[in-house]
Amino acid sequence: MDLTTTYMGLSLKNPIVPSASPLSYKLDNIRRMEDAGAAAITMYSLFEEQLDFEAASLTHFLDYGTESFAEALSYFPEPYEFNLGPDEYLEHIRKAKAAVDVPVIASLNGISDGGWIDYATRIEEAGADGLEINLYFIPTQLTLTSSEVEHVYLDVLNNVKAHVNIPVAMKLSPFFSAMPRMAAMLDDAGADALVLFNRFYQPDMNIEELTVGPRLVLSNSDEMRLPLRWIAILYGKIRSSMALTTGIHTSEDVIKAMMAGADIANVCSVLLQNGVGHVSTLLTGVTRWMEEHEYESIDEMKGSLSQRSVPEPAAFERANYMKTLQSYSGLN
């Protein structure tokens, strides 16, 4: 049975790839994911904003109160070396590359043109096999147009592609007015893969304290239907590879992703819940399902339930919505 797939130009032994998450913080976890069968590792994201914040915060507090009072012109020793840049992350990539044989895909969240280019270049130098652009961007300004939002993505992609030779994947928001057009533009700009979709954590409210704050809720299988739909719609229409991320919890979910047209299935919540060794359970399930259903390769099923391949393409459009509503009516 052939489980291989090709994603952003990388030949992978199977389609299961842990997504960017704290799972890759520890080298030991990375090794265990490979041991469990992960075809590649997406590293946790390097956040330029966080690095900037750490540096600014350190500078602020090291300077705060200094040179004000004659007895205490400073409050901290001044070490000759701070490790404030991306060095720790880059070193982690180097170690990961040395520790595993599967491809290592870095993930980058920048906030400035210089940051995107600088960090992407250094990530490539550190040996990453690919780079996922994690553009976590919530456009809140009333004056920002959809076109401007689209260009934020395109500009970053163009900048990074112009400076690195490793394949580049774009992790996308699901909130584009014209998703196919957006995908096509990114495809034209040279995106080696699209990752659908970034799962923005939604803030929650505490009505006792009158506060708003983050609350982590792990995904479930139902959530995969949004990316599933769009991958199915885009399959065959763009050159870029596609990764389905969000909501893949079972082997069947992996099969669905492939049938929609994804090249890989990113997993995270299910590993956080069950441990990184769960990759092997998923793989075993995929293999068993393929055996039971007499599929010989991933390639054979890839895109088989995409919009262009199914007998009812409209199922992915408004008709699908109408049918769903009708199904509720039927229950009543």
Q: Could you say which of 27, 62, 99, 272 contacts other proteins (CB under 8 A)?
A: 62
What are the Cα distances from residue 192, in Å, to 157, 160, 162, 294?
Answer: 10, 12, 13, 31
Under rule CB under 8 A, residue 208 binds other proteins? no
- What does 262-277 look like in DSSP terms, one character per residue? -SEEEE-HHHHHH-TT
Least CB distance to other proteins at residue 78 (A): 7
Least CB distance to other proteins at residue 27 (A): 13
**Maximum separation of any 2 CA atoms in the chain, in Å:** 82
Phi and psi at 38, nearest 5°, equal -55, 135
Least CB distance to other proteins at residue 82 (A): 4
Q: Could you say which of 65, 180, 203, 277 contacts other proteins (CB under 8 A)?
A: 65
Under rule CB under 8 A, residue 75 binds other proteins? yes
H/E element, 90: helix 87-99
Least CB distance to other proteins at residue 54 (A): 7
* Local structure of 310: helix, strand or coil: coil
Q: What CA–CA distance (Å, rounded) separates 157 from 318? A: 31
State which residue, 76 or 321, has the beta carbon closest to other proteins. Answer: 76
Under rule CB under 8 A, residue 70 binds other proteins? yes
Q: Could you say which of 6, 44, 54, 154 contacts other proteins (CB under 8 A)?
A: 54
What are the Cα distances from residue 134, in Å, to 20, 29, 106, 163, 206?
Answer: 9, 22, 10, 17, 29
- Per-residue binding string, other proteins, 83-122, x by CB under 8 A, is xxx--x-------------------------x---x----
Under rule CB under 8 A, residue 214 binds other proteins? no
Q: What CA–CA distance (Å, rounded) separates 137 from 185? A: 18
Under rule CB under 8 A, residue 61 binds other proteins? yes
State which residue, 92 or 229, has the beta carbon closest to other proteins. Answer: 92
Part in contact with other proteins (CB under 8 A); list of ranges 48-56, 132-140, 158-166, 179-187? 48-56
H/E element, 221: none
Cα torsion 92, 94, 100, 106 to 10°: value is 70
Under rule CB under 8 A, residue 26 binds other proteins? no
- List residues near other proteins by CB under 8 A: 51-52, 54-85, 88, 114, 118, 210-211
